[in-house]
């Protein structure tokens, strides 16, 4: 009896530990414009060990052409929210603002370094930081790409580039563990990013108007929706953040913006950390950058 039971148990464990990304749900999403080469399932490295960093709660849902695009193109910079390079040729990750916990206190997030997994092109390894009530905490973890769509645009900030660019929206599942703090915890949830492929085939995160009901970042470049769990007490807090605080703020507080012609935060929310919105202290930098005194 034991000789029969153990092989069956082993086969069941191997089946349960197959990576969720191998389950493909074919949708009616439009095909990618660029020619791509589909990597056959037979050539993928075998996956036996379960990926405990990201749960399988959200199924992989990409059309075959979108999956091929995702395997052909590295989205590391897109997940960071990298935009056009500045005059010095440098790109900086997008710092997102958000609402944290039942009182919706301000929190800031930045993904400083992202690398694509060498064996699994849909898995990305993340290093970042968050700032909450003046405390800066580093975190590490993963993002797994779950959905990818191409999006026809209605309008775009850079008209000429828009004639040659192709636009996409991606949805990922994230799991990040904070480090070096007694109040550390684990962030889990979804990250959406809207991005474009320029005429030279490079990818950058960007704002554009297409179909915000189908855009995972809602046209706001980057969008986070998740939950934080304390590693010490198990306490849970909701997280909602975006690259566009004006857009996301009105979904939390109806009177968040009191400006008539320009964005202006209601003074009554200053006690929740929003009086510091315009401070540009680059809190995420590992060492302070020199400043010029005039």
pLDDT digits (tens, 9 = 90+) for 122-158: 999 999 999 999 999 999 999 999 999 998 876 655 5
Least confident of 67-71, 93-97, 164-168, 275-279: 275-279
Q: What angle do CA 4, 7, 9 make, to 5 degrees?
A: 100
Mean local confidence (pLDDT), 77-82: 95
Q: What are the tens digits of pLDDT across the range 210-234?
A: 877 889 999 899 999 999 999 999 9
Q: Is 198 domain-assigned?
A: yes
Q: Is 6 domain-assigned?
A: no
- Sorting pLDDT into bands at 50, 70 and 90, what band is 104? very high
Residue 212: name the closest of 163, 252, 247 by CA: 247
Query: Which residues 6+ apart lie within 8 Å of 18 measured at CB?
Result: 47
Q: Is 23 domain-assigned?
A: no
Q: Is 183 domain-assigned?
A: yes
Would you give the distance in Å from CA 55 to the centre of its chain? Answer: 16
Q: Which own/partner contact pairs does 17-20 have at CB distance under 8 Å and 24+ positions apart?
A: 17/47, 17/48, 17/49, 17/50, 18/47, 19/47, 19/50, 19/51, 19/120, 20/56, 20/59, 20/60
Contact in structure between 189 and 225 (CB atoms under 8 Å) = yes
Identify the pLDDT of residue 162: 54
Report the domain count for the chain: 1
Report the predicted TM-score, pTM, of the whole model to 2 decimal places. 0.75
Q: Is the pLDDT of residue 31 over 70?
A: no
Calpha distance 49→125 (Å, rounded): 17
Domain interval for residue 154:
40-276
Contact in structure between 274 and 281 (CB atoms under 8 Å) = no
Q: Is 51 domain-assigned?
A: yes
Q: What's the Rg (C-alpha) of the chain?
A: 21
Mean local confidence (pLDDT), 77-83: 94
Would you give the distance in Å from CA 151 to the centre of its chain? Answer: 18
Calpha distance 149→212 (Å, rounded): 12
Residue 81, sorted as left (phi over 0), alpha (psi -120 to 50) or beta, turns out to be left
Q: Is 289 domain-assigned?
A: no
Mean local confidence (pLDDT), 90-104: 93
Q: Is 263 domain-assigned?
A: yes
Mean local confidence (pLDDT), 259-272: 86
- Sorting pLDDT into bands at 50, 70 and 90, what band is 276? confident
Contact in structure between 52 and 20 (CB atoms under 8 Å) = no
Identify the pLDDT of residue 287: 62
Calpha distance 195→206 (Å, rounded): 5
Q: Is 12 domain-assigned?
A: no
């Amino acid at each position: 009896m034991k000789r029969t039971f153990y092989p069956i148990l082993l086969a069941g464990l191997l089946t349960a530990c197959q990576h969720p990304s191998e389950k493909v749900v074919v949708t009616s999403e439009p095909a990618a414009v660029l020619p791509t080469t589909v990597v056959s399932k037979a050539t993928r490295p075998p996956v036996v060990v379960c990926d405990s960093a990201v749960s399988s709660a959200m199924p992989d849902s990409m059309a075959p052409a979108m999956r091929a695009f995702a395997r052909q193109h590295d989205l590391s910079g897109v997940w960071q929210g990298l935009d056009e390079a500045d005059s010095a040729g440098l790109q900086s990750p997008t710092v997102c603002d958000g609402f944290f916990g039942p009182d919706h206190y301000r929190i800031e997030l930045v993904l400083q370094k992202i690398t694509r997994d060498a064996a699994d092109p849909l898995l990305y390894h993340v290093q970042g930081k968050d700032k909450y009530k003046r405390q800066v905490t580093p975190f590490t973890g993963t993002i797994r790409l779950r959905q990818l769509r191409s999006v026809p645009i209605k309008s775009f900030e850079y008209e000429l580039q828009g004639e040659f660019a192709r636009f996409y929206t991606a949805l990922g599942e994230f799991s990040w563990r904070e480090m070096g703090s007694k109040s550390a915890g684990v962030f889990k949830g979804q990250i959406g990013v809207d991005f474009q492929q320029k005429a030279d085939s490079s990818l950058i995160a960007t704002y554009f108007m297409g179909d915000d009901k189908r855009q995972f970042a809602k046209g706001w470049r980057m969008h986070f929706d998740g939950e934080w769990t304390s590693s010490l007490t198990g306490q849970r807090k909701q997280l909602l953040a975006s690259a566009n605080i004006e857009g996301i703020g009105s979904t939390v507080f109806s009177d968040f913006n009191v400006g008539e012609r320009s964005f202006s935060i209601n003074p009554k929310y200053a006690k929740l950390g929003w009086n510091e919105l315009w401070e540009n202290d680059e809190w995420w930098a590992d060492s302070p950058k020199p400043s010029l005194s005039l």
